[in-house]
Amino acid sequence: GAGVSQSPSNKVTEKGKDVELRCDPISGHTALYWYRQSLGQGLEFLIYFQGNSAPDKSGLPSDRFSAERTGGSVSTLTIQRTQQEDSAVYLCASSFIPREQFFGPGTRLTVL
């Protein structure tokens, strides 16, 4: 079945470069979430989109991080001027509020 998909699956970049991570949610799901999983910090919430409401950006760690969701579907998480501490697995999830969240396979980001 069509689950949450993310691309790329792996991304290696140099410190200081910008990266874009993409998430395609499950069709019909109104809510989309980004989380980050790293060894030091565990699983952390980053940002949440629900319908046409203003996104909840309370988990973004710095102003280098931003995300948008176009047409209520696909989302892109952008990290500008990447730092080594940004290395992590970035997970996207979607749900039909207020139900359980279904997670994508993640993008493993490595900043050299």
Specify the residue, 14 or 98, whose C-beta has the smaller distance to other proteins: 98
Bond into 61 cis (ω within 30): no
Q: 40, 42, 52, 84: which one contacts other proteins (CB under 8 A)?
A: 42
How many residues belong to the site for other proteins (CB under 8 A)?
Answer: 24
Specify the residue, 19 or 33, whose C-beta has the smaller distance to other proteins: 33
What minimum distance in Å lies between the beta carbon of 16 and other proteins?
28
The answer to the question of residue 20 lying near other proteins (CB under 8 A) is no
Contacts made by residues 62-69, CB under 8 angstroms, sequence distance 24+: 67/34, 69/32
The answer to the question of residue 28 lying near other proteins (CB under 8 A) is no
Cα separation values, 22 from 19, 30, 39, 41, 98, Å: 10, 17, 22, 22, 23
Question: Among 112, 107, 110, 79, which residue's Cα sits nearest to residue 9?
Answer: 107
Question: Among 33, 77, 78, 71, which residue's Cα sits nearest to residue 55?
Answer: 33
Report 50-89 residues binding other proteins (CB under 8 A): 50, 56, 59
Specify the residue, 3 or 16, whose C-beta has the smaller distance to other proteins: 3
Which spans of this chain sit near other proteins (rule: CB under 8 A)? 31, 33, 35, 42-45, 48, 50, 56, 59, 91, 93, 95, 97-106
